[in-house]
């Protein structure tokens, strides 16, 4: 492998390596290749090294009964602030890097609310075989032990626990709680702003669209629920996201609020032909203000705060943050 290939390869890029042989087949009956391509990568389960000497300054608190990391500007509440909802990748609210990322947005004048969208169940970054043996049948245990892609299997199981039907009601509780707790910041910004990375990017894009009534989330498709699922205004005023995972073109087509999207060239977790390009066309057709920046030569997950040796990745990470914060400030 050439030196430049080594320089850009990071744990986040593991998911971009196309599997071959038995491990290319999903252990879930009926799964398709496209569904496997929409799974999560190492970027969402393992933090990069934390920048030296940096320590989070926010605090953990609850909004709407949901644990959140709250980062405030140093002069708040003496000076006006705007409220920013930050949604993370699978490493979640307890990740030091995610907390530092929230602090960075707070230093730019935003009151940042970063919720635990996983209810204390962040994405798995290791496999405890003893626990697996205790909690699964003999046949399932054999299947797990013999699967080449055991970590992928565990992540798929985790994803099945954290679907829009589970995550969106949590976010709704946090949004309503923030409107009560930080009404001044919401009013000052004329609404709530949102930024999201990886897993969280999908949900910022959903919140930027015409979302259904929260009462209908996760409910059977009865006539009453269909009547309750009346379209309403986007939950956020403007959004900025980086390298989303599991985003669908339908979610991009539903967007109504201004959005900035940082994508990675040839990213199988956010495919250009199947998702990004149709989404861009829909945004243009619907006259939705948007900007899409495609970064080349960087791994999926590059914009999440964390240390890299490669100066190109470092530079792109800074550029993505500057563009995301610039977009939010401009709206």
Q: What is the pLDDT along the chain (331 residues), one digit of tens a residue?
A: 443 433 333 333 333 333 333 333 332 222 222 233 345 656 667 788 898 888 999 999 999 999 999 999 999 999 999 999 999 999 999 999 999 999 999 999 999 999 999 999 998 874 443 444 455 566 665 555 554 467 777 888 889 999 999 999 999 999 999 999 999 999 999 999 999 999 999 999 999 998 655 544 444 544 554 444 455 789 999 999 999 999 999 999 999 999 999 999 999 999 999 999 999 999 999 999 999 999 999 999 999 999 999 999 999 999 999 999 999 999 9
Upstream peptide bond of 99 is cis (omega within 30 degrees of 0): no
* CATH class of segment(s) 3-16+31-121+162-329: alpha beta
* 132 in Cβ contact with 147 (< 8 Å): no
Alpha helices in 9-90 (DSSP H): 33-37
Locus of tokens 């390869």 = 9
Pairing mode of beta strands 110-115, 66-71: antiparallel
Given phi > 0 = left and psi -120 to 50 = alpha, else beta, which region is 47?
beta
* 283 in Cβ contact with 251 (< 8 Å): no
How is residue 151 written in tokens?
């970590």
CA dist 119 and 217 (Å) reads 17
Cα angle for residues 282, 249, 266 (degrees, 5° grid): 105
How is residue 299 written in tokens?
């791994």
């Amino acid at each position: 492998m050439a030196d430049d290939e080594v320089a850009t390869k990071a744990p986040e890029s593991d998911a971009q390596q196309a599997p071959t042989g038995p491990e290319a087949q999903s252990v879930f009956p009926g799964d398709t290749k496209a569904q496997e391509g929409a799974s999560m990568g190492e970027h969402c389960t393992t933090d990069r090294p934390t920048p030296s000497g940096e320590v989070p300054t926010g605090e953990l608190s609850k909004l709407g009964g949901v644990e959140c990391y709250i980062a405030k500007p140093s002069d708040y509440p003496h000076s006006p602030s705007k409220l920013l909802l930050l949604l993370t990748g699978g490493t979640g609210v307890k990740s030091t890097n995610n907390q530092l990322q929230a602090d960075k947005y707070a230093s730019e004048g935003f009151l940042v609310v970063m919720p635990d969208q996983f209810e204390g169940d962040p994405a798995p970054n290791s496999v405890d075989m003893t626990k697996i043996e205790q909690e699964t049948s003999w046949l399932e245990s054999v299947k797990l032990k013999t699967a080449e892609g055991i970590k992928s299997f565990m992540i798929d199981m985790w994803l099945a626990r954290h679907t829009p039907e589970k995550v969106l009601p949590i976010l709704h509780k946090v949004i309503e709680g923030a409107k009560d707790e930080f009404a001044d910041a919401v009013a000052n910004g004329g609404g709530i702003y949102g930024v999201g990375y990886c897993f969280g990017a999908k949900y910022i894009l959903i919140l930027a669209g015409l979302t259904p009534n929260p009462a209908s989330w996760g409910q059977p498709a009865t006539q009453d629920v269909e009547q309750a699922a009346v379209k309403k205004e986007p939950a956020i005023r403007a959004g900025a996201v980086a390298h989303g995972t599991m985003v669908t073109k339908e979610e991009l087509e539903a967007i109504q609020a201004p959005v900035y999207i940082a994508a990675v060239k040839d990213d199988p977790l956010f495919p250009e032909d199947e998702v990004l390009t149709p989404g861009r066309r829909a945004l243009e057709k619907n006259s939705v203000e948007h900007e899409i920046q495609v970064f080349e030569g960087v791994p999926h997950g590059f914009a999440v705060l964390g240390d890299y040796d490669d100066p190109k990745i470092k530079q792109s990470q800074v550029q993505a943050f500057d563009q995301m914060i610039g977009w939010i400030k401009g709206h």
